Amino acid sequence: MSLKMHRDIVESIERGDAGELGMGDAFNFECDDRCMGRCCNTIKIMLDPWDVEVMARHLGMTGKDFLEKYCEIEEDPYTKWPYVKLFDAERGPCAFMLEGGRCAVYPARSRNCRTYPVGRAVRFTPDGGKEEKYFMVEKQSFCFGHGSARQWTLKEWLDDAGSLEYYNRSDIYFELIDYVSGVLESRRWMNERIARMIMPFLYGPEVLRAKMGIPVEDVGHEEFYIRRIKALKVFLAELAAGFGFGPLVKDDEGEREDFNLMDRVKGILVTEEDS
Ligand code: SF4
Ligand code: SF4
């Protein structure tokens, strides 16, 4: 989901045009053999860095190879942020759909695949908090799942799909995008070259591990994901300042200490500390 779609959804919930779901609210849904997998033929599945990492590891691939084989990049026209989506699912059938509609990467399926038909929009507040809203994604005429007798509360549905871990990881990523597009005004300076530069931070953990000499035994996958996003935030804040945007722009009175940006980024990746 692009940032703009995300924003539109939060606004429509706030206007009362879209029904918001609470954790105890119940709905009926279960996948039905009659339509198994039709959703995986025409749907746009946006992938977060954590989705790509989990799916790539499940398939024994690098994130870079996974992107090349299964994904395409879509630039958000509003923020210029480079989003990744599964190209096969949109043009159908999804590369991971087995005969009969089952999913070949089911235990590692993406956040959006595992939470459908529930959607979630999150907004980050200036005090560092966040507000989240859950809603039912618009019903598709071909989907029989809504007619099922199986009833769930929202909490049961999310727990069953192991969604909260994915939401927590994706919030770290969306908070970065929120900062880069809002505070750093990425639409004014993001371009294809910069988008290529940030790809290893987002989708190529193995590239950074090899470059920096950080084995998984020393820094586990989840911790390294958090460090990559943190390092990228520092990197982009400095880059934006070079273009004249964001809080780090030097003014006549506020000279900032010189430092080596790449050493600082490396420090975060290796030790988690920002020097
Ligand atoms: S019931 Fe709906 S969500 Fe489930 S496989 Fe069919 S189309 Fe997809
Ligand atoms: S990854 Fe699995 S669940 Fe997601 S679109 Fe592809 S086949 Fe469907």
Point out which residues pair with 132 in neighbouring strands: 122
Among protein residues, the one whose CA lies closest to atom 8 of ligand 1: 39
Whether the CB of 45 sits within 6 Å of ligand 2: yes
pLDDT at 13 exceeding the cut of 80: no
DSSP letter for 106, please.
G
Pairing of strands 26-28, 71-75: unpaired
Whether the CB of 52 sits within 6 Å of ligand 2: no
Q: Report whether the peptide linkage leading into residue 93 is cis, meaning its omega lies within 30 degrees of zero.
A: yes
Residues 130 and 139: their CA atoms lie apart, in Å, by 27
Residues 53 and 57: their CA atoms lie apart, in Å, by 6
Q: Report whether the peptide linkage leading into residue 117 is cis, meaning its omega lies within 30 degrees of zero.
A: yes
Whether the CB of 94 sits within 6 Å of ligand 2: yes
At a CB cut-off of 8 Å and minimum separation 6, what does 20 contact? Answer: 13, 133, 134, 135
Whether the CB of 137 sits within 6 Å of ligand 1: no
pTM for this one? 0.90
SS3 (DSSP) at 177: helix
Among protein residues, the one whose CA lies closest to atom 3 of ligand 2: 113
Tell which one of 45, 106, 112, 143 to mutate to probe ligand 2, the residue whose CB is within 8 A of the most ligand atoms.
Answer: 45
- Lowest mean per-residue pLDDT among 33-37, 98-102, 142-146, 246-250: 33-37
Which two tokens mark 48? 């977060």
> How would residue 15 be classed by pLDDT, with cut points 50, 70 and 90?
low
Q: Give 193-224 pLDDT, tens digit per residue.
A: 999 999 999 999 999 999 999 999 999 999 99
The full set of domain ranges for the chain reads 3-271
